[in-house]
Chain A
Amino acid sequence: MYIIVVGGGKVGYYLTKTLLNDRHEVLLIERDRDKVETYSERFGSVILQGDGAEAAVLAAAGAARADVLIAVTGEDEDNLVICQMAKHKFHIGKTIARVNNPKNELLFKKLDTDVTVSQTNYILGLIEQAIPDRAFIHLLSLRHADLAIIEATISAESPVANQTIGEIDLPVACVIAAIARGADVIVPGPDTEIMPFDEIIAVTHRTEEDELRRLLIIE
Chain B
Amino acid sequence: MNVVVMGCGRVGARVSSILDNNGHRVTVIDTNSTAFRRLSPDYGGDTVLGTGIDEDVLKSAGIEDADTFIAVTNGDNRNIMAGQVARVMFNVRDVIVRIYDPVREDTYRRLGLSTVCPTTTISALIIDQVIGSSAPNRRTEPRET
Binding site for B on A (CB under 8 A): 53-56, 59, 75-78, 80-81, 84-85, 88-89, 101, 103-104, 106-107, 110-111
Contacts and interface: CB of A to CB of B under 8 A. Distances in A.
A160 to B, nearest CB: 35
Chain A binding site: helix, strand, loop or mixed by DSSP? helix
Given A106-B89, A107-B88, A111-B84, A85 B55 contact: no
Contacts of B110: 88
Chain B binding site: helix, strand, loop or mixed by DSSP? helix
Interface residues of B, number: 24
B77 A78 contact: yes
Interface in B90-142: 101, 103-104, 107-108, 110-111
A89 B103 contact: yes
Contact of B78 (A77, A84, A89, A103): A77
B42 interface: no
Interface of B: 53-56, 75-78, 80-82, 84-85, 88-89, 101, 103-104, 107-108, 110-111, 144-145
A111 to B, nearest CB: 6
Contacts of A78: 77
B107 A85 contact: yes
9 contacts: A53-B76, A53-B77, A54-B101, A76-B53, A77-B53, A77-B81, A103-B54, A106-B89, A110-B89
Which 9 residue pairs spanning A and B have beta carbons closest together?
Answer: A77-B81, A55-B103, A77-B77, A81-B77, A59-B145, A77-B78, A56-B145, A110-B88, A78-B77
